[in-house]
Amino acid sequence: GESVGLHLPTLSVQEGDNSIINCAYSNSASDYFIWYKQESGKGPQFIIDIRSNMDKRQGQRVTVLLNKTVKHLSLQIAATQPGDSAVYFCAEILSSGSARQLTFGSGTQLTVLP
């Protein structure tokens, strides 16, 4: 079946720099995408979402970009801070039959260097 995938399993950035985490999806029927942050020993925490009728959405220090042409999703974190160190998951809604379920990618580990 189709699934969400990530380009890189790990990403290291200097404190204060911007971070870009990428995600590829292959199901053109997906119409909703979410980014979650998971700190060590904790459950995933919602960061930002975007619907397929949008190509950009901004939150506090975060921006999600959606490129439907190449089926690519990215999460940009501005002025990365030590507290941003975590695993970041993208997830998509797969509309299959009567079920609409989130499918998660395997995650990208973001490490913020001092």
Partner 1 sequence: NAGVTQTPKFRILKIGQSMTLQCAQDMNHNYMYWYRQDPGMGLKLIYYSVGAGITDKGEVPNGYNVSRSTTEDFPLRLELAAPSQTSVYFCASSYGYEKLFFGSGTQLSVL
Among 22, 49, 52, 74, binds partner 1 (CB under 8 A): 49
Give me the least distance between CB of 7 and partner 1, in Å please: 14
Judge contact between 108 and 4, C-beta under 8 A.
Answer: no
Nearer to partner 1, 24 or 104 (CB): 104
Do 107 and 7 touch, CB atoms closer than 8 A? no
The DSSP bridge partners found for residue 34 are: 49, 91
- Draw the binding track, 12-41, toward partner 1 (x: CB under 8 A; -: no contact): --------------------x-x------x
Report the candidate in 87, 61, 65 with the shortest Cα–Cα distance to residue 75: 65
Give 17 or 39: the residue with its C-beta nearer to partner 1.
Answer: 39
Task: Quote the CA–CA distance of 52 and 49 in Å, as a whole number.
Answer: 10
Based on the shown chain and the rule CB under 8 A, indicate whether residue 101 belongs to the binding site for partner 1.
yes
105 binds partner 1 per the rule CB under 8 A: yes
Q: Which is nearer to partner 1, 42 or 60 (CB)?
A: 42
| Residue 88 binding partner 1, by CB under 8 A | no
Q: Are 6 and 23 in contact (CB under 8 A)?
A: yes
Strands 5-6 and 56-58: unpaired
The structure tokens listed for 63 are 């921006």
In the complex, the residues that contact partner 1 under the rule CB under 8 A are 4, 32, 34, 41-46, 49, 89, 93, 99-107
